[in-house]
Amino acid sequence: MTDVLRRGRALLAFSFFAQGATFALLVTRIPAIQRQYGLSDTLLPVVLAAVPILAGVGSVGAEQLVRRIRPSRLLRWSQPVVLLALLGVGAGGRMAELALALGVFGLAVGALDASMNMLGVSLQRSYGRSIMLGFHAAYSLGGIVGASLAWAGAHWHLALWVSYLPVVAVLLPATFVGSRWYVDGGMPTADTQDAQAATARPVAFRLLLPLCLVMTFAYIGDSTVSNWSAKYLQDTLGSSEQLATVPYNIYMVTTLLGRSLGDLGVRRFGAAAVVRLGTLVAAAGFAVVAGAPAAWAGMLGFTLLGLGLCVLVPQTFAAAGRLFPEASDAAVARLNIFNYVGFLVGSPLVGALGDAWSYRGAMLVPMALVLVTLVHVRSFAPGAERYRDDHERSRATDVGRGGNGI
Q: pTM for this one?
A: 0.89
Q: Between vectors from CA 320 to CA 317 and to CA 324, what angle results, nearest 5°?
A: 150
User: Given 3-state DSSP classes, what are the helix, strand and coil percentages for the chain, each rounded to the nearest 5?
Assistant: 80, 0, 20
The b-or-e profile of 2-29 (16+ CB within 10 A means b, else e) is: eeebeebbebbbbbbbbbbbbbbbbbbb
User: Is 243 inside a domain boundary?
Assistant: yes
Question: Are residues 341 and 266 part of one domain?
Answer: yes
Question: Are residues 362 and 302 part of one domain?
Answer: yes
* Total number of domains constituting the chain: 2
- Predicted confidence at residue 166, as pLDDT, reads 96
- Predicted confidence at residue 155, as pLDDT, reads 86
User: Is 254 inside a domain boundary?
Assistant: yes
User: Is 314 inside a domain boundary?
Assistant: yes
Question: In angstroms, rounded to a whole number, what is the distance separating the alpha carbons of residues 185 and 8?
Answer: 11
User: Is 403 inside a domain boundary?
Assistant: no
Question: Residue 98 maps to which CATH number?
Answer: 1.20.1250.20
- Predicted confidence at residue 201, as pLDDT, reads 60
List of the chain residues with pLDDT < 70: 1, 185-201, 383-406
* Structural domain of 102: 1-185
- Predicted confidence at residue 1, as pLDDT, reads 56
Question: Are residues 229 and 343 part of one domain?
Answer: yes
- Predicted confidence at residue 57, as pLDDT, reads 97
User: Is 53 inside a domain boundary?
Assistant: yes
Strands (E), 208-299: none
pLDDT tens sequence across 349-381: 999 999 999 999 999 999 999 999 999 999 998
Question: Are residues 211 and 133 part of one domain?
Answer: no
Residue pair 275/373 in contact (Cβ under 8 Å)? The answer is yes
Question: Are residues 166 and 209 part of one domain?
Answer: no
- H helices of 324-374, in order, are 328-356, 359-371
Question: Are residues 204 and 119 part of one domain?
Answer: no
User: Is 193 inside a domain boundary?
Assistant: no
- Predicted confidence at residue 44, as pLDDT, reads 86
User: Is 396 inside a domain boundary?
Assistant: no
Question: Are residues 115 and 60 part of one domain?
Answer: yes
